[in-house]
């Protein structure tokens, strides 16, 4: 009964939404056949903004025809406008014109630029102008043309500072959408690569582009991405983080379920595995879904170095992550409840170092951890030369001063230093690591080892229940898929990765041919 009622309510909601959209479409302002009237409608919508340029002129020929172009200064390329629009139209002499010049003749014979389209309403014309295109309006015509003249200032392609590699490409995404898509298109020269663009944001009208490989990516995944993007109703999208918060599976979880990257090669690798990439105009960060736990411990260099070295480095990352979240908690538990587990010489040394300190081990760990986070945040936000000096000098001075003043013991300074170094090895997991570190430390301060074990069990249950666009977050560990271990726990040679990950539900699991291991040519004796 309740299911039937809910279905009826959803049906009524869709009907109302369709009626509203139909009314909005019917309320669109049609272009008139008078040039002055159309210009007045545009001015009414855009106001007296100084960057809106309206240029009236006459098309020369047998008959003098009035026309106008409209563009936004700073968004449109003036060179294209002058050389490919104004000059051909204003100098169109001795042409075999008809009784009256129409838009078809202008588009087919006079304009020397690509990307010419027609619009019938003022809203469509303004939308095209606000994206950097140039609108052309003629007298006695109730339609207009808009020409692709985008040419705003943009940042050059540089290496991203957040994903440094030793062996690999040095290109990074920029803030321009089409430059980012071209960087991926240049790496995947295959007709199955699809880019689908939509606009999100009632005020900003931000271009959002999803990329996937047709015939490889699961169609259900593509449909789910479109559904989640389509339900976003907000005034403005300013960065990819806005999109991430609207489409993630677990908004209250400390673990992110939407990946991000600034590197075209990483984005390309994700697409070739069957994932979907989400580009946001105006930001150099590209989101990828689904995102699984093990991806935070991978690096582009893992596929450029020798497999044994890459595997050992990956194990160091896993070890560093566990050290960063467990070391302060283990220290607090041992110092407060389980002193019998500490070797006697070390216990005597720790007791001598902490003698006379006024705070408990829990307060020391939380306090020094907070100081470290303050220094880290200051080093990030300040200009780079000053930030490095503040973080290094601040850590040395504060650590030495607190120990000399007897506020904390020397062991906790060493523990926090090791924790800080370990957290730097896995920068993607810094946010989740901080939440886990604080939570486990507090549990250790009240319950000792039992608190740590209980907290880890709770975290594992939470991770096992997470999904990223329908894919288990802990795959291939839970559920267990041994065949996918070749690129998670270890890093096998490229020639051994002949299948794509099975947990993504891809349509084409075969990545390459079998038996591609290099074989030296046998020499005749």
Answer whether 0.75 is exceeded by the pTM. Answer: yes
- pLDDT value of position 26: 44
Nearest of 113, 175, 144, 186 to residue 30 by alpha carbon: 144
List of residues 6+ apart from 7 with CB closer than 8 A: none
SS3 content of the chain, % helix, strand, coil (to 5): 50, 15, 35
DSSP letter (8 states) at residue 510: B
CA distances from 444 to 9, 23, 254, 330, 389 (A): 50, 61, 20, 7, 34
- pLDDT value of position 25: 45
- pLDDT value of position 62: 47
pLDDT means over runs of 10, the chain (525 residues): 56 54 56 85 85 84 73 88 85 58 76 83 87 87 86 82 84 90 91 92 90 91 93 90 91 92 92 93 92 90 87 92 93 90 86 82 88 80 67 69 78 87 87 92 93 94 92 88 84 84 80 79 59
DSSP letter (8 states) at residue 520: P
Nearest of 329, 209, 310, 321 to residue 255 by alpha carbon: 321
- pLDDT value of position 64: 63
Domain ranges (residues) in the chain: 35-147, 177-291, 316-465
pLDDT tens string 387-410: 666 666 666 677 777 777 778 888
Secondary structure of residue 447 in the 3-state scheme: helix
The order of strands in the sheet holding 144-147 is: 52-59, 65-72, 134-138, 144-147, 116-119
* Dist CA 271 CA 283 (whole Å): 19
Please, are residues 240 and 226 in contact by the beta-carbon 8 Å criterion?
Answer: no
User: Which residues, in sequence order, are bridge partners of residue 287?
Assistant: 260, 278
**Dihedral pair phi/psi, residue 504, rounded to 5°:** -90, -5
- pLDDT value of position 63: 58
User: Which residues, in sequence order, are bridge partners of residue 68?
Assistant: 56, 137
- pLDDT value of position 523: 57
- Measured in whole angstroms, the distance separating CA 512 from the mean position of its chain's CA atoms is 28
pLDDT tens string 143-181: 888 888 888 777 888 888 888 888 888 889 998 888 999
- For 319-357, the three-class secondary structure string (H helix, E strand, C coil) is HHHHHHHHHHHHHHHHHHCCHHHCCHHHHHHHHHHHCCC
- pLDDT value of position 393: 64
């Amino acid at each position: 009964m309740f299911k039937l009622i809910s279905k009826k309510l959803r049906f009524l909601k869709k009907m109302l939404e369709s009626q509203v959209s139909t009314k909005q479409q019917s309320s669109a302002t049609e272009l008139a056949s008078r040039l002055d009237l159309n210009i007045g409608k545009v001015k009414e919508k855009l106001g007296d903004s100084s960057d809106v340029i309206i240029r009236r002129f006459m098309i020369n020929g047998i008959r003098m025809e009035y026309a106008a172009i409209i563009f936004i200064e700073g968004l449109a390329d003036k060179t294209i406008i002058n050389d490919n629009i104004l000059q051909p139209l204003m100098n169109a002499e001795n042409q075999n014109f008809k009784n009256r010049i129409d838009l078809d003749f202008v588009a087919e014979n006079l304009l020397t630029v690509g990307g010419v389209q027609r619009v019938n309403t003022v809203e469509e014309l303004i939308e095209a102008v606000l994206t950097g295109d140039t609108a052309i309006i003629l007298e006695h015509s109730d339609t207009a043309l808009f020409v692709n003249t985008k040419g705003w200032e943009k940042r050059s392609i540089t290496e991203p500072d957040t994903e440094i590699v030793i062996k690999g490409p040095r290109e990074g995404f920029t803030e321009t959408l089409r430059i980012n898509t071209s960087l991926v298109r240049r790496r995947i020269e295959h007709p199955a690569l699809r880019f689908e663009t939509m606009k999100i944001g009632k005020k900003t009208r931000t271009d959002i582009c999803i990329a996937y490989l047709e015939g490889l990516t699961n169609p259900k995944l593509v449909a789910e991405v479109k559904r989640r993007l389509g339900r976003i109703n907000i005034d403005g999208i300013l960065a990819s983080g806005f999109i991430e918060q609207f489409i993630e599976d677990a908004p209250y979880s400390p673990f992110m379920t939407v990946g991000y990257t600034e590197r075209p090669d990483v984005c390309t690798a994700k697409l070739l595995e069957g994932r979907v990439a989400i580009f946001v105009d105006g930001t150099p960060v590209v989101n990828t879904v689904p995102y699984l736990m093990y991806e935070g411990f991978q690096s582009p260099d893992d596929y450029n170095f020798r497999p044994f070295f890459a595997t050992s480095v990956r194990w160091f990352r896993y070890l560093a992550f566990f050290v960063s979240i467990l070391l302060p908690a283990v220290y607090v538990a041992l110092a407060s409840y389980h002193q019998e587990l500490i070797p006697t010489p070390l216990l005597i040394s720790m007791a001598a170092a902490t003698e006379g300190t006024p705070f408990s081990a829990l307060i020391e760990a939380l306090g020094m951890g907070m100081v470290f986070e303050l220094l880290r945040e200051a080093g990030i936000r300040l200009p780079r030369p000053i930030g490095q000096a503040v973080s290094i000098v601040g850590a040395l001075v504060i650590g030495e001063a607190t120990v000399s003043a007897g506020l904390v013991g020397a062991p906790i300074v060493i523990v926090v230093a090791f924790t800080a170094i370990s957290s730097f090895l896995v920068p993607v997991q810094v946010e989740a690591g901080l939440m886990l570190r604080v939570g486990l430390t507090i549990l250790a301060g009240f319950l000792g080892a039992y608190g740590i074990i209980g907290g880890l069990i709770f975290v594992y249950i939470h991770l096992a229940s997470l999904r990223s666009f329908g894919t288990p977050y802990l795959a291939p560990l839970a559920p267990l898929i041994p065949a996918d271990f070749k690129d998670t726990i270890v890093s096998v040679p490229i020639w051994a990765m002949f299948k794509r990950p099975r947990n993504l539900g891809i349509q084409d699991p075969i990545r390459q041919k079998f038996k591609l291991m290099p074989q030296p040519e046998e020499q005749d004796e």
